[in-house]
Amino acid sequence: MPADKPNDASIPMLSVRDLTTHFPVGGGLLSRLTGKRRVVYALDGVSFDIMPGQTLAVIGESGSGKSTLGRTLLRLQEPTSGTIHFEGRNITRVGREELRQLRRRMQMIFQNPYSSVNRRFRLVDIISEPMFVHGIGDSASRRQRALELLELVGLNPDFAYRYPHEVSGGQLQRVGVARALATNPSFVVADEPTASLDVSVRAQVMNLLKDLKAELGLTMMFISHDLGVVSYIADQIAVMYLGRIVEIGTKEQLERAPQHPYTQALFKSVPKPNPRLRGKEAPPVGEVPSAINRPSGCHYHPRCPLAMDICRRMYPVLETKVGGQKAACHAMPAASAPASVAPTIKALRRARQGGPSQAGQRGVTAPRPVGRWEKDRHASDVDLRRRRRARRARAGSGAAGAHRRGGAGAALLHLRQRPVALPVAASERARRPHRARVPRRRRRRRRRGVRAHPR
């Protein structure tokens, strides 16, 4: 089924500029009398484009503003300021009737399936409802299409006449997917569509969304906590923190070399299937601050291992970094900045170690020295491997060193890092002189020629 309107590949399907959504809260008597109403900064100056057929994944901790962004794009939530262009047209302030027409092409899969359906409707009616609202087909054709969609999302047609309380959460989530696709939309916001599904159903729904993307040229904004799922479906990834995008780029750019310390921490928090790396997960430390009283400057500074003085005073600009993606961080050099100007990570590390650094020259204070554990905690996997290799080389060189410390496993590890080395045969290993662990006192005695037990 083609989408209703052919897409021009050169025009972004969705273009968002400086989008802001604030929620005034605490309308009590005291706050009214004092004139101090507090504001939740759910979304603050968000800008990005999504090209036709692309999927932008939005990740971030709970309360970072992902759902608010999705709802605001579809005008389910009115923005405080900023603009939203859909297929080249400004839809930020369009009227009710125009909005109704637009919603036929913009749909949402909601985060909570139970709160997004009418519990007095049967599943077939829930799926048919958007077609009814937009005047698509007659009653019989709508029912037929609803049954087809049920089958498309992997549900038996027998489910059609059940009520929401008669199905499981995962099954209801699939009904939510079917309902979002009922009007043949060209843009779908999927707000954690797989959060309540078990692993096998999750794979089915993900494959379904991927197929629809390929077949219908569906453009998507995919909100998720699950970085594995994001990696499967996304073309671009945006990382949100306290209502702002702190890093945005292609999936490859972010997975290869995340620039923002928060993105690095998110990627590092993913459990590692490799047993060697298990236990090395390093999720962001501390709690997400309140969206009402956000920390000054860079909102991430209370949790950031690289925080500097400037971070407390000034919010960093979201600019293109050396990896090609955009990130908002003072510590990461901009792609356009000469290496001598930007306070680089290397300079910061040098500052920490007390050596001469550009960071120091630029008024960057040298924070407390960092121990090996802490260094490793924030290092990338590549850095970790490099450090371990260096430590191993210091402790003893070559495969023999690896052999001494860890036997075959360590020797293999060493071989993987140095493909030129030849495998160590078991027979040869057996012939090698084994360095016995002799206590230091006995070694000294041996050197002096003193017998431990004189005859």
Which positions touch ligand ATP (CB under 6 A)?
23, 25, 40, 42, 60, 62-68, 111, 291
Q: Residue 261, interface with ligand SF4 (CB under 6 A)?
A: yes
Using the rule CB under 5 A, give the single segment among 64-72, 230-238, 349-357, 441-449 that binds Mg ion.
Answer: 64-72
Q: Residue 67, interface with Mg ion (CB under 5 A)?
A: yes
Q: Residue 329, interface with ligand SF4 (CB under 6 A)?
A: yes
Q: Residue 330, interface with ligand SF4 (CB under 6 A)?
A: yes
* Contact map string, positions 270 to 309, toward ligand SF4, x by CB under 6 A: ----------------------------x-xx--x-xxx-
Give first-to-last CA distance, the chain, whole Å. 96
Describe the strand order of the beta sheet including 244-250 as a list of residue ranges: 106-109, 187-191, 219-223, 55-59, 236-241, 244-250, 326-327, 319-320
Using the rule CB under 6 A, give the single segment among 149-157, 328-336, 338-346, 420-428 that binds ligand SF4.
Answer: 328-336
User: What are the DSSP calls for 220-257, one per residue?
Assistant: EEEE-S-HHHHHHH-SEEEEEETTEEEEEEEHHHHHH-
Is the CB of residue 1 less than 8 Å from the CB of residue 212?
Answer: no
Binding partner at 298 among ligand ATP, ligand SF4, Mg ion, none, C-beta below 5 to 8 Å by kind: ligand SF4
CA–CA gap between residue 146 and residue 178 (Å, rounded): 8
Spatial CB neighbours of 401, under 8 Å, sequence gap ≥ 6:
392, 393, 395, 414
Is the CB of residue 280 less than 8 Å from the CB of residue 297?
Answer: no
| Helix, strand, coil content of the chain in percent (nearest 5) | 40, 15, 45
Site for Mg ion in 131-150 (CB under 5 A): none
| Least separation in angstroms between CB 68 and Mg ion | 8
Instruction: Identify which of residues 131 and 304 has a Cβ nearer to ligand SF4 in the complex.
Output: 304
CA–CA gap between residue 297 and residue 245 (Å, rounded): 15
The DSSP code for 167 is: S
Q: Residue 108, interface with ligand SF4 (CB under 6 A)?
A: no
Binding partner at 25 among ligand ATP, Mg ion, ligand SF4, none, C-beta below 5 to 8 Å by kind: ligand ATP
Measured CA distances, 181 to 127, 190, 193, 286 (Å): 9, 11, 13, 39
Site for ligand SF4 in 372-431 (CB under 6 A): none
Instruction: Identify which of residues 111 and 196 has a Cβ nearer to ligand ATP in the complex.
Output: 111
Burial 331-343 (b: 16+ CB within 10 A, else e): bbbbeeeeeeebb
Instruction: Identify which of residues 137 and 289 has a Cβ nearer to Mg ion in the complex.
Output: 289
CA–CA gap between residue 220 and residue 52 (Å, rounded): 9
Contacts with ligand SF4 by CB under 6 A: the residue count is 14
Site for Mg ion in 111-130 (CB under 5 A): 111
CA–CA gap between residue 373 and residue 327 (Å, rounded): 27
Site for Mg ion in 93-112 (CB under 5 A): 111
Instruction: Identify which of residues 65 and 249 has a Cβ nearer to ligand ATP in the complex.
Output: 65
Residues lying near ligand SF4 in the complex (CB under 6 A): 260-261, 298, 300-301, 304, 306-308, 311, 316, 329-331
Residues lying near Mg ion in the complex (CB under 5 A): 67, 111
